Structure 1
Amino acid sequence: MSAPKVELYTKFGCGYCFRAKKLLDDKGVEYTEYDITVGGPKRDEMQERVPGARTVPQILIEDKSVGGSDELAALERAGKLDALLGL
């Protein structure tokens, strides 16, 4: 089984972004990070992929939004994150 695709939209200096990346790093999960600090096409892409998204991080696993840092941590506490990550 291959690892699922994990993507994060982040901004420089964002504590929530740091927390989400640390959780994924601690689990040894590879992810693609899109820095939208200055806006641009990746910010527009984030809003297309996650309608209504106004905050970062926005985390997608296999193209499905799981929310932000708090939601990622909640999945971990509930014991559901490892299954989503194929761990």
Structure 2
Amino acid sequence: MAKVIMYSTGYCPYCDRAERLLKERGVDNLEKIRVDLDPAQREAMMARTRRRTVPQIYIDDYHVGGFDDLAALDHAGKLIPLLQGEQ
């Protein structure tokens, strides 16, 4: 299973939905980085993704984007292969 990192906050419904979808697809090792608790992490997220909003999701080194991007990837049938390292 691929490594999944999600930049998030504690009060983000889209973060909750993304986490739920990832768990439904078998992800049990989600690394959540709370940018609301650490301003340096928010700066690092913005430098890495060039985006300000959460969630921002990485599967291995692939930047998925936010929840809408994750859901579109799943709808297209590409999420599970990406999670299994079959890019």
**Which TM-score applies when normalising by structure 1?**
0.88
Residue 20 (structure 2) aligned to one of 19, 22, 44: 22
Partner of 2:48: 49
* Structure 1 residue matching 2:42: 3-state secondary structure: helix
Deviations 1:6-50 (A, max 9, x none): 100001110000000000111220210001114411111111211
Structure 1: stretches of 5+ with no match in the other structure: none
- Letter paired with 1:70: D
Partner of 1:60: 58
Root-mean-square deviation (CA, aligned residues, Å) is 1.4
Partner of 1:76: 74
Structure 2: stretches of 5+ with no match in the other structure: none
4+ long deviations beyond 4 Å: none
Partner of 2:31: 32
The number of aligned residues is 84
Separation (CA, whole Å) in 2 of partners of 1:50 and 1:68: 10
**Which TM-score applies when normalising by structure 2?**
0.88
- Letter paired with 1:35: R
Identity percentage of aligned residues: 44
